[in-house]
Amino acid sequence: MISAADSQQWTEVRMTIRRNGVGNGLVTVIHRQVSGQKIWDRRLDTATFNRLDSDGNEVDLPEALRRAVAALEAQRQRG
């Protein structure tokens, strides 16, 4: 008999954003694949971005997301 935990199969893509030192942010994109109780994580991309505005204040969440995505796009274009 196969348990429900053993029969699960799914994948997802995660984007995490972290503070990375003074004024910088680190964005990471991870692909997760689950098959039963086995989990595989594979980092797809990572980039850093400036999380401060011109006055030295931390930007709000929507702006941080825009900057994170822009940093990933720039990273891809550089190859």
Segment 14-58, tens digit of pLDDT:
999 999 888 999 999 999 999 988 999 999 999 999 999 999 999
Q: Which of 62, 67, 26 is nearest to 47 (CA)?
A: 26
Q: Residue 2 pLDDT more than 70? A: no
Number of domains in the chain: 1
Report the alpha-carbon angle 6-14-48, nearest 5: 150
Q: What's the pLDDT band for 7 if we cut at 50, 70, 90? A: confident
Residue 1 pLDDT: 66
Domain that holds residue 28: 4-78
Backbone region of residue 39 per phi and psi (left: phi > 0; alpha: psi in -120 to 50; beta: other values): beta
